[in-house]
Amino acid sequence: MRWGVITFPGSCDDQDVVDALRLDLKQEVAALWHKDELRGEFDCLVLPGGFSYGDYLRCGAMARFSPVMAGVVEHARRGGLVLGICNGFQILCEVGLLPGALVRNAGLQFICQPVQLRVEENDSPFTGNLKKGQLLKIPIKHGEGCYFADAETLDAMHKNRQILLHYVDAKGKATAAANPNGSLENIAGVCNAARNVFGLMPHPEDACNTLLGSDDGAKLFLSIAAAVAEGAKRHG
């Protein structure tokens, strides 16, 4: 499969994603610039973490107007896969590809630490290789990662099973103490109703090698690769 990793002015985790995919997971990756025109040749587009446009106005608010985003939206509408990590998650919410919003952490401080995640659904391309209830250890590093959605939106997300990851403790319980940023219902990652767009605050690219303390992030990337391979087989 072919991955495209988009760099915005202020991105700082783009090269980490490229290196994790290319060096650790042996994937074909192209680095894209925010002014590039997409031509539909990518299986999965990745919007990485960082501080796009300096997080002016609010996180992701300016990046949503980058020229490349028209292609990202069209790619998603055609059924292409889109992954937003941290700031990428914020951008996808701003542009309307994902529900809800990311706001300031409950403690009003930047947080950088490993967290435990519980997989809630495995019928998406992003979690298809995983088991429901499986625990993942992946780091976070953000100041505005508190997930919020209104009651109507949240109800629809529950009905559509769009919540893919929760913050949990070592025993897999979604406790208040295990919630690092005050996210509504301990939500760490969500997908759209069509299940082809996924955003999460934790950084899987920083957990693709045991030298970094965990390779659980690789399981998410490899789930995507497996889904694309299966789709190619069905249509091939």
Residues 60 and 110: their CA atoms lie apart, in Å, by: 17
Element (H, E) at 199: strand 197-200
Residues 138 and 146: their CA atoms lie apart, in Å, by: 17
Provide the token pair at 21: 């995919």
Q: Enumerate the β-bridge partners of residue 116.
A: 137, 168
Q: Enumerate the β-bridge partners of residue 163.
A: 190
Q: 57: phi > 0 → left, psi -120 to 50 → alpha, else beta; which?
A: left
Q: Enumerate the β-bridge partners of residue 50.
A: 11
Instruction: Catalogue the active-site residues.
Output: 86, 203, 205
